[in-house]
């Protein structure tokens, strides 16, 4: 018995060591960004880990008017993210509810169309999207970004549909017998029961504009004022700017990452429930 | 309503019957219904469905307006994609020649597609208006009351709720996914590249020439395609499975009985999901740069004399990408697998333990089959997702190291990043479109396999108890 116990203890210690090493590896880039953001010495290629002089200079510089004006990018991204988040989440929930709970003639054909559309590489069409926006006279605007990000959102209905599928049908049938319309069933029964998937949808659609780089770069070209942080920060690391802007890049990365990380960690539970509840059972 | 049910009965001739609908209506309709063929909504209007009738009529007016001012300008040129790029006109006042833009192939193609969409939707609307007129006629002949506009609105919240829910998302998808996609698919059959850039020059239909060029026609392009395709598949395979197994392993050891601070460990890894990829990947690229942190450390410790060119030698760069991708992907698998692990009935393990099974055996016989069964669809979507994984490649190497043997591609370029650089740097839209179609074909093969493997789609109806 003691033999098994010591063996178990040794395995556990080995696991702890392994986990610690892995955590260090996983946190390494993040810690490095944070350290660099406080580094007074400029330059990208620094061969030491800890800054020689600590300062808030990089953070302060971010708020000085410059061609690379971070606060504006941050505000842009926030506006785009909030609007996209509202529109996309609505679209996703609407489409997935329709496909999951309602029965209509075009349901299967439409689902097949979505399946096929999903197999095309998403930004194969970005050039055409650009010209459509140009025809609508909307290139280089934030509205264009919002429309592009939320426009195709309805296609990502699978996970939410999988979740809706698991809500027992007899609940809405009972409500229907009591005379509720489909609209009432949707708002009063399904939505209140679907908190995990709603939070999941909101979270993913809020994060999408923070991460996307391709569409912004196609749509905004060089209109620095309407950049989102992803594109702006990427530009900071252009070869010619890299040495001047690297530490500032790190500082802005920290500012971007803090709110998103906080949001993500506080909502992690719903994220897991969303992914496992939806994708897996669906 | 009545016509709708008739068509459904003989499902074999569904399409044929749909075409017949207008003729049937014309044969059976009275004067008001027949007049609706000319003036949309007339039948409804006569039968006191004023608003409905008016809306149909307005739709018709709008359509005629569009025909005159939009469709007729572009659609007729679809066959040639324009003939005159720029015309020189003598300006009497200024006494100079000025250039006037006449045709622009790109706009002709794009607006022709829009026109075809408009015509298609108008046809659907037209037939619906006829059905509505006919139904209104039947109802009044039978002495039934016709739906008021208010009733119609109400039904949109109830038995036609799907229309309400799907309309807006569909408009978004049509405008920003389907329309551009059709445009790009058609581009694959033209010679739209840097030598044929409208407005100065026009492009033209070339049939299957681009496909031929990519697959066997041009030695350089087709050998690049072959190599990029091979690397894309290797990448997708390793990226998917390294993440999957390593993530599962991590989830299992964190979930092991007796390991403390489970939530802490999990959060540490999962936190990396929340930091935007461009931030972490660009940083990692920097860490591994020639004069970056790692190389300098290794040199200081006298392990190496010269910097290791992590991203500058083909295979080394590829291996690095796969390894760094684990950093990005493992947390996702960890999240999903930990969720599933909690669902495995503990009794299975208890009884296995009584039978004296080793932890390894329990993994092989219980944990793995269970997790694999639930995650099979996830695994396949991951695979398809990795074929299209733009971010990791673009942020780490941007496709490099560039090679002269390749047609505007680097040794770590995936099909998708190659497509991107062909469009954004080289304006070679024709080849990019063909590559896009190839990616589609590859992805659809794997998706089809996934679709057939996962019984969930087939059992969808029984699942909804």
CB nearest A152 (choices: B168, B177, B338): B177
Q: How confident is the model at residue A278 (pLDDT cuts 50, 70, 90)?
A: low
* Cβ contacts of B452 on chain A, cutoff 8 Å: none
CB nearest B439 (choices: A30, A121, A263): A121
What global pTM score does this model have? Answer: 0.83
> Chain B 429-458, CB below 8 Å of chain A: which residues?
429, 432-433, 436, 439-440, 443-444, 447, 451, 456
* Cβ contacts of B166 on chain A, cutoff 8 Å: 94-95, 98, 110, 154
Q: Which residue has the tokens 């006042």?
A: B93
Average pLDDT of the segment spanning B50-77: 89
CB nearest B339 (choices: A150, A265, A276): A276
Q: Inform me whether the C-beta atom of residue B270 falls under 8 Å from chain A C-beta atoms.
A: yes
- pLDDT reported for residue A261: 81
Structure tokens at B291: 């004069």
Model pLDDT for residues A55-92, shown as the tens digit of each residue: 888 888 888 877 778 889 899 999 999 999 999 999 99
Say what percent of chain A tops pLDDT 90. Answer: 15
Mean pLDDT of chain A: 84
CB nearest B177 (choices: A151, A166, A265): A151
Kindly determine whether residue B327 and residue A253, on different chains, have CB atoms separated by under 8 Å. Answer: no
Q: Inform me whether the C-beta atom of residue B302 falls under 8 Å from chain A C-beta atoms.
A: no
Q: How confident is the model at residue B123 (pLDDT cuts 50, 70, 90)?
A: very high
Model pLDDT for residues B267-325, shown as the tens digit of each residue: 888 888 878 888 888 888 888 888 778 888 888 888 888 878 888 888 899 999 999 99
Kindly determine whether residue A49 and residue B293, on different chains, have CB atoms separated by under 8 Å. Answer: yes
CB nearest A94 (choices: B107, B169, B265): B169
Structure tokens at B453: 């493997």
Average pLDDT of the segment spanning B343-357: 83
Listed range (A118-127, B13-22, B401-410) with the worst mean pLDDT:
B13-22
* Cβ contacts of A169 on chain B, cutoff 8 Å: 464-465
A1 pLDDT more than 70? no
Q: How far is A87 from chain B (nearest CA, A)?
A: 9
- pLDDT reported for residue A89: 92
> Chain B 326-345, CB below 8 Å of chain A: which residues?
327, 331, 335-336, 338-340, 343
Q: How far is it, in rounded angstroms, from Cα A139 to Cα A147? A: 11
* Cβ contacts of A280 on chain B, cutoff 8 Å: 336, 339-340, 374-375, 377-378
* Cβ contacts of A233 on chain B, cutoff 8 Å: 278-279, 282
Model pLDDT for residues B159-206, shown as the tens digit of each residue: 888 888 898 999 999 988 899 999 989 999 998 888 888 877 888 899
B458 pLDDT more than 60? no
Residue in B closest to A230 by C-alpha = B278
Q: Beta partners for B101?
A: B86
For the CA atoms of B124, B129, B134, B137, the dihedral, rounded to the nearest 10 degrees, stands at 170
- Asked whether B281 and B324 are in contact (CB, 8 A), the reply is yes
Kindly determine whether residue A91 and residue B375, on different chains, have CB atoms separated by under 8 Å. Answer: no
Ranked by mean pLDDT, which of A117-126, A149-158, B434-443, B453-462 comes out on top? B434-443
Of B385 and A65, the structure prediction assigns the larger pLDDT to: B385
Say how many C-beta atoms besides its own lie within 10 A of residue B59's C-beta. 18
Q: How far is it, in rounded angstroms, from Cα B463 to Cα B461? A: 5
SS (H, E, C) chain A: CHHHHHHHHHHHHHHHHHHHHHHHHHHHHHHHHHHHHCECCCCCCCCCCCCCCECCHHHHHHCCCCCCCHHHHHHHHHHHHHHHHHHHHHHHHHHHHHHHHCCCCCHHHHHHHHHHHCCCCHHHHHHHHHHHHHHCCCCCCHHHHHHHHHHCHHHCCHHHHHHHHCCCHHHHHHHHHCCCCHHHHHHHHHHHHCHHHHHHHHHHHHHHHHHCCHHHHHHHCCCHHHCCHHHHHHHHCCCCCHHHHHHHHHHHHHHHHHHHHHHHHHCHHHHHHHHHHHHHCC
Q: Inform me whether the C-beta atom of residue B416 falls under 8 Å from chain A C-beta atoms.
A: yes
Q: What ipTM did this prediction achieve?
A: 0.83
Q: How far is it, in rounded angstroms, from Cα A74 to Cα A238? A: 19
> Chain B 239-258, CB below 8 Å of chain A: which residues?
250, 253-254, 256, 258
Q: How far is B31 from chain A (nearest CA, A)?
A: 31
Long-range pairs for A31-36 at CB < 8 Å and ≥24 separation?
Answer: A32/B283, A32/B287, A32/B293, A33/A250, A33/A253, A33/A254, A33/A257, A33/B279, A33/B280, A33/B283, A34/A250, A34/A254, A36/A246, A36/A247, A36/A250
Q: Would you say the C-alpha torsion A129, A135, A141, A143 has a positive or negative sign?
A: negative
Q: Inform me whether the C-beta atom of residue B194 falls under 8 Å from chain A C-beta atoms.
A: no
Q: How far is it, in rounded angstroms, from Cα A157 to Cα B465? A: 21
Model pLDDT for residues A148-197, shown as the tens digit of each residue: 889 888 888 888 888 888 888 888 888 888 888 888 888 888 888 888 88
- Asked whether B3 and B24 are in contact (CB, 8 A), the reply is yes
The angle that helices A70-101 and A107-117 make with each other, rounded to 10 degrees, is 140
């Amino acid at each position: 018995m003691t033999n098994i116990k010591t063996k178990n203890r040794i395995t556990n210690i080995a696991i702890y060591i392994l986990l610690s090493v892995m955590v260090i590896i996983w946190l390494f880039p993040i810690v490095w960004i944070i350290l660099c953001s406080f580094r007074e010495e400029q330059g990208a290629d620094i061969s030491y880990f800890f800054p020689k002089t600590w300062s808030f200079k990089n953070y302060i510089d971010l708020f000085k008017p410059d061609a690379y004006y971070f606060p504006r990018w941050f505000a842009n991204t926030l506006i785009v993210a909030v609007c996209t988040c509202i529109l996309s989440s609505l679209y996703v929930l609407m489409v997935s509810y329709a496909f999951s709970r309602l029965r209509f003639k075009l349901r299967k054909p439409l689902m097949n169309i979505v399946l096929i559309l999903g197999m095309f590489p998403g930004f194969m069409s970005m050039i055409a999207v650009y010209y459509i926006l140009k025809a609508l006279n909307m290139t280089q605007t934030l509205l264009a970004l919002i429309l592009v990000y939320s426009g195709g959102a309805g296609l990502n209905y699978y996970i939410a549909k999988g979740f809706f599928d698991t809500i027992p049908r007899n609940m809405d049938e009972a409500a229907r017998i009591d005379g509720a319309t489909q609209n009432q069933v949707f708002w009063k029964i399904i939505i209140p029961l679907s908190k995990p998937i709603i939070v999941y949808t909101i979270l993913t659609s809020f994060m999408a504009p923070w991460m996307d780089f391709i569409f912004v770069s196609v749509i905004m070209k060089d209109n620095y004022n309407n950049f989102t942080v992803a594109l702006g920060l990427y530009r900071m690391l252009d070869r010619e700017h890299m040495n001047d802007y690297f530490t500032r890049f790190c500082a802005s990365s920290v500012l971007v990452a803090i709110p998103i990380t906080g949001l993500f960690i506080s909502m992690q539970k719903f994220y897991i429930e969303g992914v496992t509840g939806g994708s897996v059972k669906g | 309503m009545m016509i709708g049910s008739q068509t459904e009965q003989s499902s074999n001739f569904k399409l044929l019957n749909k075409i017949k609908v207008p003729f049937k209506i014309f044969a059976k309709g009275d004067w008001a219904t027949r007049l609706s063929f000319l003036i949309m909504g007339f039948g409804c209007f006569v039968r006191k469905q004023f608003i409905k009738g008016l809306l149909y009529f307005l739709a018709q007016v709008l359509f005629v307006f569009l025909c005159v001012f939009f469709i007729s300008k572009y659609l007729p040129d679809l066959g040639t994609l324009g003939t005159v790029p720029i015309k020189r006109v003598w300006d009497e006042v200024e006494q100079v020649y000025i250039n006037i833009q006449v045709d622009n192939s790109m706009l002709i193609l794009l607006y022709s597609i829009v026109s075809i969409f408009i015509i298609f939707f108008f046809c659907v609307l037209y037939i619906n208006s006829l059905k509505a007129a006919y139904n209104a006629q039947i109802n009044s002949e039978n002495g039934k009351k016709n739906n008021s506009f208010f009733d119609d609105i109400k039904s949109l919240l109830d038995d036609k709720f799907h229309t309400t829910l799907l309309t807006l998302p569909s408009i978004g998808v049509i405008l920003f996914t389907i329309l551009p996609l059709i445009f790009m698919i058609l581009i694959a059959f033209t010679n739209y590249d840097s030598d044929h850039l409208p407005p100065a020059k026009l492009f033209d239909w070339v049939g299957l020439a681009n496909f031929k060029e990519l697959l066997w026609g041009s030695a350089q392009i087709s050998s690049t395609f072959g190599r990029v395709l091979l690397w894309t598949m290797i990448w997708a395979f390793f990226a998917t499975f390294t993440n999957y197994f390593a993530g599962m392993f991590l989830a299992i050891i964190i979930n092991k009985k007796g390991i403390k601070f489970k939530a802490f460990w999990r959060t540490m890894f999962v936190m990396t999901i929340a930091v935007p990829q461009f931030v972490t990947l660009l940083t990692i690229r920097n860490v591994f740069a020639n004069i970056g942190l790692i190389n300098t450390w290794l040199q200081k410790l006298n392990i190496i004399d010269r910097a290791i060119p992590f991203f500058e030698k083909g295979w080394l760069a590829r291996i690095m990408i796969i390894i760094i991708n684990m950093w990005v992907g493992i947390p996702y698998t960890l999240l999903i697998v930990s969720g599933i692990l909690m669902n495995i009935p503990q009794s299975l393990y208890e009884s296995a333990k009584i039978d004296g099974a080793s932890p390894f055996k329990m993994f092989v016989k219980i944990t793995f089959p269970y997790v694999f069964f639930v995650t099979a669809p996830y695994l396949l979507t991951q695979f398809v997702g990795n074929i299209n994984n733009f971010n990791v490649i673009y942020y780490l190497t941007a496709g490099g190291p560039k090679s002269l043997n390749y047609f505007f591609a680097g040794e770590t370029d995936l099909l998708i990043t190659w497509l991107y650089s062909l469009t954004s740097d080289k304006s070679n839209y024709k080849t990019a479109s063909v590559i896009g179609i190839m990616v589609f074909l590859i992805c659809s093969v794997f998706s089809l396999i996934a679709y057939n493997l996962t019984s969930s789609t087939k059992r969808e109806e029984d699942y909804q108890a």
